[in-house]
């Protein structure tokens, strides 16, 4: 059985008018839940608006004074006029429907105000939204919602975009497999960036609150400050402080014309800052915190380009008494940054984050995605090609060509390249602890030549067996590096 919902409306005749100076006037929907009238926001500031129980959900034009009036003219046009319509008045806004055969108007119980030719709608507020979308209202391509200096629109690509002043992009929708970051507005207006967790495991609902409470108690220069969170039903929201320069990937994987290129000094400071932040999570907190999703998109930059690790939506806690081994029921992270032990279904330790950091460090040096395959890298996975160039002594070949014109400290570059290769070793036991990574980047002690990193797809079965047994030669390497 199908139930039809009738949409009832009262017709408004051409020649009808509303005046800001007469607050009792309104055009109402049949249920009186919606009304079109002038609302007063301050002493001499008014808006012509469709209201729902006192809440404005559509506005005609902008702010006006008490001399304003809204007219439904006999030619079918709807006009917002400031001043006298007959003499000095000026049209602030209009529907541009004159001469289209419009014979009546109505405000429906859906909240839609319609100009009609007979029984057929010619112009509607639903087709011309301002700052609100109502149930049953379609939001189609090229429609724009405006709130102050913010613009929200549906692009022809199918993505939704939020911009400030029609220039600064705060958010563009995209497919994600873990979390996404959204900047709603600027800190001067009191709102903050929000991370929305789209991966949900009902078994983790209770630990989620405990983890957020733990993360919110962390305080470090290189961690984004967690302002608050929401856990409702299947939805998880994390609210972070606002950082002006956005995420690191916007600076690394783009052309010179699209974005300002980071010079080597800033890149090295960012790499060091991220290492310090992960060290704090792993070694200086009461519980060892595994981030599980270290990647450039989750590294935010403040106005001075200081790095802040963000997006703890996938983070897990390890008890300090058992912080080296932890089994997890689902793979967490992003393709290209996952440690091999995830694929081999082996115990996950803090060394998984070390692997991810190594890949990020290599990207900071090169300005290229670690999983990129191109003719420039002889059609090999970039990390493997980079090691071959390192073996040949061609360190400059690994560095982002966009920074080579600057004063690049090649000693720092070589140190960073070697550290990255130690971090992406397939055997977790060969990867250094993050505290050791910080020391190596700071130039404390010598860095031994790293062995070649194996491709993640090579010999997973053999890796699963060998990963739990460290050979005597590996023990010697570990001892010389003092990794643990």
- Fold exhibited by the domain 197-481: Transferase(Phosphotransferase); domain 1 (1.10.510)
Instruction: Please give the model's pTM, rounded to 2 decimal places.
Output: 0.55
Answer yes or no: 293 catalytic. Answer: yes
What local confidence, expressed as pLDDT, does residue 140 receive?
66
Instruction: Indicate if the alpha-carbon torsion angle 360, 364, 369, 374 is positive or negative.
Output: negative
Give the bridge partners for 59, in sequence order. 49
Domain ranges of the chain: 9-124, 197-481
Pairing of strands 120-124, 144-147: unpaired
The confidence score (pLDDT) of residue 195 equals 46
Active-site option among 180, 287, 293, 353: 293
In the prediction, which pLDDT does 184 show?
Answer: 42
Instruction: Return the pLDDT at 6.
Output: 39
CATH topology (fold) of 9-124:
Agglutinin, subunit A (2.90.10)
State the Cα–Cα distance between residues 361 and 274, nearest whole angstrom.
9
CA 35 to chain centre: 37
Q: What pLDDT does 479 receive? A: 42
- Phi first, then psi, for residue 294 (nearest 5°) are -75, 120
pLDDT value, residue 472: 38
Residue 64 near residue 46, CB atoms below 8 Å? yes
For position 203, what pLDDT does the model report? Answer: 42
Q: Do domains 9-124 and 197-481 have the same CATH topology?
A: no
Q: What is the mean pLDDT of each run of 10 residues along the chain (484 residues)?
A: 41 92 90 92 90 89 91 94 77 93 93 91 89 73 64 63 56 44 43 44 52 72 80 65 86 70 94 96 86 91 92 62 47 78 84 95 92 68 87 92 85 96 94 96 92 58 39 41 48
Q: Residue 330 and residue 318: Cα distance in Å, rounded? A: 16
- Is the separation of the CB atoms in 85 and 60 below 8 Å? no
Q: How much is the pLDDT for 1?
A: 32
Which residues does 430 contact at the CB level (< 8 Å), separation at least 6? Answer: 422, 451, 474, 477, 478, 483
> What was the pLDDT predicted at 341?
87
């Amino acid at each position: 059985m199908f139930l039809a919902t009738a949409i009832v409306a009262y017709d408004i005749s051409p020649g009808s008018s509303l005046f800001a100076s007469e607050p009792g006037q309104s055009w109402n929907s049949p249920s009186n839940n919606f009304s079109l009238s002038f609302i007063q926001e301050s002493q001499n500031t008014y808006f012509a608006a469709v209201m729902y129980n006192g809440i404005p959900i559509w506005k005609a034009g902008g702010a006006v004074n008490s001399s304003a009036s809204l007219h439904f003219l006999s030619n079918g046009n709807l006009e917002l006029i400031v001043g006298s319509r007959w003499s000095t008045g000026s049209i602030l806004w209009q529907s541009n429907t004159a001469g289209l055969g419009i014979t009546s108007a109505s405000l429906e119980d859906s909240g839609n105000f319609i100009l009609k030719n007979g029984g057929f709608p010619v112009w509607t507020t639903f087709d011309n939204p301002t700052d609100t979308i109502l149930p049953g209202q379609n939001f189609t391509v090229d429609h724009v919602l405006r709130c102050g200096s913010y613009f929200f629109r549906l692009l022809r690509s199918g993505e939704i975009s939020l911009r400030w002043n029609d220039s600064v992009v705060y958010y563009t929708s995209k497919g994600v497999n873990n979390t996404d970051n959204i900047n709603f507005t600027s800190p001067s207006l009191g709102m903050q960036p929000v991370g929305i967790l789209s991966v949900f495991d009902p078994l983790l609902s209770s630990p989620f609150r405990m983890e957020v409470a733990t993360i919110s108690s962390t305080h470090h220069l290189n961690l984004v400050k967690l302002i608050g969170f929401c856990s409702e039903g299947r939805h998880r929201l994390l609210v972070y402080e606002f950082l002006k320069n956005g995420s690191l990937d916007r600076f690394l994987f783009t052309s010179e014309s699209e974005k300002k290129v980071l010079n080597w000094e800033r890149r090295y400071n960012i790499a060091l800052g991220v290492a310090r932040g992960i060290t704090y999570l792993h070694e200086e907190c009461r519980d060892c915190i595994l981030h599980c999703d270290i990647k450039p998109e989750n590294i935010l930059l403040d106005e001075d380009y200081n790095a802040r690790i963000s997006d703890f939506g996938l983070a897990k806690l390890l008890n300090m008494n058992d912080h080296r081994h932890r089994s997890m029921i689902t793979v967490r992270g992003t393709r290209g940054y996952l440690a091999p032990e995830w694929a081999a279904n082996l115990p996950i330790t803090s060394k998984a984050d070390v692997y991810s950091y190594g890949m990020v460090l290599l990207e900071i040096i090169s300005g290229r995605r670690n999983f990129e395959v191109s003719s420039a890298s002889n059609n090999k996975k970039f990390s493997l090609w980079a090691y071959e160039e390192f073996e040949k002594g061609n360190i400059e070949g690994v560095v982002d060509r966009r920074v080579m014109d600057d004063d690049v400290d090649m000693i720092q570059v070589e140190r960073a390249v070697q550290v990255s290769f130690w971090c992406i070793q397939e055997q977790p036991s060969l990867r250094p602890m993050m505290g050791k990574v910080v020391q190596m980047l700071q130039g404390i002690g010598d860095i031994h030549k790293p062995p070649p990193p194996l491709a993640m797809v090579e010999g997973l079965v053999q890796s699963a067996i060998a990963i739990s047994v460290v050979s005597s030669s590996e023990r010697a390497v570990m001892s010389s590096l003092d990794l643990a």
